[in-house]
Structure formats: C-alpha cells, structure tokens
Amino acid sequence: MFDVLMYLFETYIHNEVEMRVDQDKLTDDLTKAGFHQDDIYNALNWLEKLADLQDGQGKAFAMGGDPLALRIYTDEESQFLDTECRGFLLFLEQIQVLNLETREMVIDRVMALDAVEFDLEDLKWVILMVLFNIPGYENAYQQMEDLVFEEDESRLH
C-alpha cells in the first residue's frame, strides 16, 4: 500500500497534476502501473481518512494539554516508529514544522499503514502527505520538503 501512496504523491499530488480523476479511472491507471487491487483500495482509503483528518473530521485529538508535555508512545507505536523516527518527530515539533495536532495526524496515518518495514525516510514522506493539503501549513510543508530533498553537503564521500 505504501508504494501506491508514494506513486500517487509523486505522480499526481506533488507534481500538481489535476487530481479531479474519477476513482475508477485512477484505479485502472494504478492497475496498469502494476499495483494490486487490494493495495490500491487500501491506499485510496488511507487518503480518504487523511482528507477527513485534514478537514477536522474523523478522530478528535485531545490537544488541550501543555505544549511542553512529552508524548508517550504506546508499545505498538514504539515498535513501528523506532527511536530515530520518534526523535525526528520531536525535532519537527521543536522547529515548529509539526504541532501537537499535526503530529497526531502523522502518527495516526503511520499506524494505519500496512507496511512490514518502516524507516525514517518513509516517515518523512508520510509527513509531507499529511502537511500537503492543510490550509495554513504551507510554510511547514515547504520546510519539510526542504528537509526531505536537501542534500547533506556536510557528508564526506
């Protein structure tokens, strides 16, 4: 399913291609691209739930707490999001790319993936997908995009 999401994001969404494609045509296009029907259905469902979260529907995240409070991850979340991923989420909160609500949206969408393996690079793409269509988060999206695509010039080859 994650491969389908990446394909959709890179092909349609990120490249600003018109997304007013009906679901049957999109499913046909994805099938022709070699994706399995179950993965296509799961990816489209994942995107629908993301859209609901971005529109303020779906899960209501309790955000009334202290912004300096530390997020405690469940055992399941900790198994899926390793220390590097959790540290990166904290870093993004500290530089104000994510806030409490968007962090919870990211965690919700990560946990909804059916991926066997998940790493920091995958997390970065999920964060981009979450931030992409939220009104008022254009700067956060741009910062995240810069973090994903910047080349680390400090590395010696």
Cβ atoms within 10 Å, residue 82: 14
* Spatial separation of the C-alpha atoms in residues 35 and 28, rounded to whole Å: 10
**pLDDT at residue 54 in the model:** 81
CA nearest to 29, candidates 11, 47, 2: 11
CA nearest to 129, candidates 115, 113, 117: 113
Range of the domain at 104: 1-155
* Spatial separation of the C-alpha atoms in residues 157 and 153, rounded to whole Å: 10
pLDDT per 10-residue tile (average), the chain, 157 residues: 89 60 83 93 91 75 63 93 96 94 94 90 94 89 89 48
**pLDDT at residue 81 in the model:** 95
**pLDDT at residue 13 in the model:** 65
User: What domain count does the chain have?
Assistant: 1
**pLDDT at residue 157 in the model:** 45
Would the pTM of this model clear 0.85, i.e. be above it? no
**pLDDT at residue 24 in the model:** 85
